[in-house]
């Protein structure tokens, strides 16, 4: 590709290759951007989310005079430079106080954006309990029928899942399920709570859960949003061919574990089957017509 041809060292070439599209993608990185003017609440909120999302996040602490809903080119430029597909933009003004915009990109263009206003915020610092280690994959719980019925809430649910779910893992340590993020949707407001999971003894193998308040808790109110069109959304979900494992057809296993295959044959004319040739039984040329006539008149001849 053009970018790779510009790489002059092997290290830079490897770096550019890691940014190329892949069949199965790595974990999405997120960029947390501070807007033109931020209040104490917003700044602290951004720092807390950055703490949750470390190490796959970058925090842009300086003021960025960007208006995402008017002009998203600046965000797209940042995303291309830092190779991040998720973003969180925080700002504060009189019209929209304590504003957070959650968003995601596809191919470095904005896919979805949701503007949420913070009504109440409890920071990590204010809650004096021990937290779980950085990078633990959190349990995500969404509650509320609005997440099912309302289209905007559905999209928001998908966006929040994308934002907060950690890396894709094949196995997880059962004792390490320590962090849970709980989102409740009620009357146009989203309540986000974060708890530490304590596994207590119960009579049986599965432990009893006790939750301890931890981490940032937000009371959001839904403001504007920008949802991607249906076909763009569909294109973003398109998986390449190599991802799904191909099913092997016509192979089955029976109860004993033996592997059975299935062959499909074309229709065979049993009269004209090619079997072993026995020279003595071959018909001579002269006798042929007489014999066939005789055979036709007689009973059905025996098959070889």
Partner 1 sequence: MWGRKPRCVIRTKMASCSFEDVLAKAERDEAEKLKGITVSKELDLEFDPGNLLAFDKNRIDTREFKDCKREDFLRSLARDNTQLLINEMWKLPTERVEEVIVAKLPDPTTLLPREKPAPKPKPPTKWEQFAKLKGIQKKKKTNLVWDEVHKEWRRRWGYKRAKDDTKEWLIEVPENADPNEDQFNKRNKAKKERVARNEYNRLKNIARAQKIKVPGMGLAPTPRQSKAELAQAVNVAKISTASVGKFQDNLPKEKTPKNTGRKRKFQPLIGDFSSEKQKQLDLLKVMDSKKPRLDVTKAVNKQMREEDMESRHKNKKDFGKKGRRGKMSGKGKGKAGGKGKGPKGKGRKPQMKQGKR
Determine, following the binding rule CB under 8 A, whether residue 238 of this chain makes contact with partner 1: yes
Buried b (16+ CB within 10 A) or exposed e, 22-33: eeeeeebbbbbb
Q: How far is the CB of 225 from partner 1 (least distance, A)?
A: 16
**Structural contact between residues 161 and 86, judged by C-beta atoms closer than 8 angstroms:** no
Determine, following the binding rule CB under 8 A, whether residue 61 of this chain makes contact with partner 1: no
Determine, following the binding rule CB under 8 A, whether residue 138 of this chain makes contact with partner 1: yes
The CB density around residue 274, as the number of other CB atoms within 10 Å, is 5
Binding-residue pattern over the window 1 to 40 for partner 1, x denoting contact by CB under 8 A? x---x--------------xxxx-x--x------------
Interacting stretch for partner 1, rule CB under 8 A, among 33-41, 43-51, 189-197, 291-299? 189-197
Q: What is the dihedral of CA 276, 278, 279, 280, to 10 degrees?
A: -160
Q: How far is the CB of 45 from partner 1 (least distance, A)?
A: 18
Q: How far is the CB of 49 from partner 1 (least distance, A)?
A: 19
**Structural contact between residues 131 and 214, judged by C-beta atoms closer than 8 angstroms:** yes
Binding-residue pattern over the window 156 to 185 for partner 1, x denoting contact by CB under 8 A? -xx--xx--x--xxxxxxxx-x--x-x-x-
Determine, following the binding rule CB under 8 A, whether residue 80 of this chain makes contact with partner 1: no
- The partner residues of 197 in beta bridges, in order of sequence, read 211
Rounded Cα distance between 171 and 155, Å, is: 28
Surface-to-core class of residue 220, CB atoms within 10 Å of its CB (0-12 exposed, 13-18 middle, 19+ buried) = buried
Query: Residue 200 or residue 262: which is nearer to partner 1 going by CB?
Result: 200
State the residue for tokens 């018909």: 283
For residue 233, what are its two tokens?
A: 């959304």
Query: Residue 74 or residue 140: which is nearer to partner 1 going by CB?
Result: 140
Q: How far is the CB of 34 from partner 1 (least distance, A)?
A: 23
Rounded Cα distance between 119 and 192, Å, is: 12
- Which residues are near partner 1 by CB under 8 A? 1, 5, 20-23, 25, 28, 85, 104-108, 111, 137-145, 147-148, 157-158, 161-162, 165, 168-175, 177, 180, 182, 184, 186-187, 191, 193, 195, 197, 199, 202-211, 213, 233, 235-240
């Amino acid at each position: 590709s053009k970018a790779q041809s510009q790489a002059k060292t092997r290290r830079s070439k490897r770096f550019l290759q890691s940014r190329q599209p892949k069949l199965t993608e790595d974990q999405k990185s997120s960029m947390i951007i501070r807007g033109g003017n931020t209040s104490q609440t917003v700044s602290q909120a951004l720092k807390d989310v950055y703490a949750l999302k470390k190490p796959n996040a970058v925090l842009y602490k300086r003021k960025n005079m960007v208006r995402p809903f008017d002009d998203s080119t600046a965000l797209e430029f940042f995303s291309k430079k830092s190779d991040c597909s998720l973003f969180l933009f925080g700002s504060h003004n009189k019209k929209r106080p304590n504003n957070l915009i959650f968003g995601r990109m596809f191919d470095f263009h904005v896919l979805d954006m949701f503007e949420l206003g913070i009504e109440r915020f409890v920071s990590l610092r204010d809650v004096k309990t021990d937290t779980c280690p950085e990078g633990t994959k959190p349990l995500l719980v969404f509650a509320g029928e609005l997440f099912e019925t309302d289209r905007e809430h559905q999209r928001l649910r998908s966006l929040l899942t994308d934002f907060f779910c950690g890396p894709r893992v094949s196995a997880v340590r059962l004792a390490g399920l320590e962090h849970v993020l709980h989102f409740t949707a009620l009357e146009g407001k989203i309540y986000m709570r974060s708890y530490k999971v304590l596994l207590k003894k119960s009579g049986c193998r599965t432990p009893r859960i006790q939750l301890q308040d931890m981490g940032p808790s937000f009371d959001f109110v839904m403001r504007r949003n920008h949802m991607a069109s249906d076909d763009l959304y569909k294109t973003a979900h398109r998986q390449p061919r190599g991802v799904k494992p191909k099913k092997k057809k016509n192979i089955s296993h029976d109860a004993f574990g033996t592997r059975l295959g299935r062959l499909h044959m074309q229709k065979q004319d049993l009269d004209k089957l090619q079997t072993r040739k026995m020279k003595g039984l071959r018909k001579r040329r002269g006798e042929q017509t007489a014999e066939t006539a005789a055979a036709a008149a007689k009973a059905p001849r025996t098959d070889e």
